[in-house]
Chain A
Amino acid sequence: MAKEIDVRGLSCPLPVMLVKKAIDAGEVEIKVITNDSAAVSNVQRLGKNRGFRVEVDKDDDNIILLLKR
């Protein structure tokens, strides 16, 4: 099961801080739900630089990032 982090309504740097905390805690699969394009860009960058593959999916209101290692 992917660790789910809902960062909707949060602005940078909070989304990245929460995802970083999960990575540091050893999570290997993280699902991030956001509605902020800056958070998408920053979380993608953090994930890639920490050795994760990052998939981006969109629905009507939200953007879902799936980080897998």
Chain B
Amino acid sequence: MQVLRQLPKFYDPKIIVGGVDMDDAGVYAINDDTAIVQSVDILTPIADDPTIFGQIAAANALSDIYAMAAKPITALTILSYPPKKIGVDTVVEILKGVSEKVKEAGACILGGHTLRNQEIKCGLAVCGIAKPSEIITNGNARPGDKIVLTKPLGTGVISTALKAGCAGSSVVNEMNRVMCQLNRYAAEAMLETGVSSATDVTGFGLLGHAMEMAECSGVSLYINAEQVPIIKGALEFARQGLFPAGSIKNFEFVRDRVDFAQGISEEVQLLLCDAQTSGGLLISVSENRVSTLLEILKKRGIRSVSVIGEVRDAGARRIYVR
């Protein structure tokens, strides 16, 4: 935001969600019936297997489109790699992973751009479509709503444990399964149910993205820490001090605006701020529709879904963790 404030602003009545709105993707109405929804996201390798890394990079980039309840239609792949260190085989494996997920999303890859760089990075620029009236922003959570999270937390701390050589294969496999899971099914469930507000949980962690939702909606969120799903093994790595620097920065950034109840351990406080890759959707839904949403999510095979809290009128703090 510090940077964005210094840049010229774009005014066009067709911009429904723009760069200054702190939302997941930009939305532009082409006409009364159709809006395009655009976003770009790039990752450094988070999995050892190149195909799985490609799948995660795609699921992560597509997620911004799903967080607005839109349908991705096209994507461009962006890949940087050091040609002297990385062979063509690995590049093909990464791009295969990307293609598999984009196919699962029902979208098409139209092309992309490759560049030589010291570091491997892979991402996508994604374009989606939606009816302007059906766009779900992060700024419409209403007092009385329930808060639903569709994936467990812990990918930041587990991927750091993986780098440190401390994570066993079962916990890593579970983390990869979580990150590879498309938010498509959660987005479709949102549309079918009719929800108030949504965002996806990524680099700022659950509390960072919850904070944006609370601020943009002018409400406070009450989160029940015990109800927040966490990947098995993540808490133990948290105790061993294996948080990535980003998660600790997230915690330092939000801690003054969050009221943590006594008895919430520092490890759990930090896990709630753990920087996620390809995290789940954080959905605010009216109380009388929450059971419908959970039923549809269950039918679509989404595991680890949990009602983690509720929305109340704005209080002294934006977030209360109980």
Contact = CB atoms under 8 A, between A and B. Distances in A.
Contact of A36 (B241, B243, B245): B245
Interface stretch (B87-95, B157-165, B308-316): B157-165
Nearest to B162: A13
A56 interface: no
**DSSP class of B's interface residues: helix, strand, loop or mixed?**
helix
B248 A13 contact: no
Interface residues of A, number: 16
A49 B267 CA distance: 10
Given A37-B248, A42-B248, A20 B243 contact: no
A13 B242 CA distance: 6
Contacts of A2: none
Interface residues of B, number: 19
B6 to A, nearest CB: 26
Given A13-B163, A17-B164, A44 B248 contact: no
B244 interface: yes
Nearest to B163: A13
Interface string B240-258: 1111110011001000000
A45 B239 contact: yes
Nearest to B161: A13
B266 interface: yes
A38 B245 contact: yes
Nearest to A46: B241
A43 B245 contact: no
B177 to A, nearest CB: 22
Interface string A39-62: 001111110010000000000000
Given A13-B160, A16-B164, A49 B240 contact: yes
Interface of B: 160-161, 163-165, 238-245, 248-249, 252, 266-267, 270
Interface of A: 11-13, 16-17, 20, 36-38, 41-46, 49
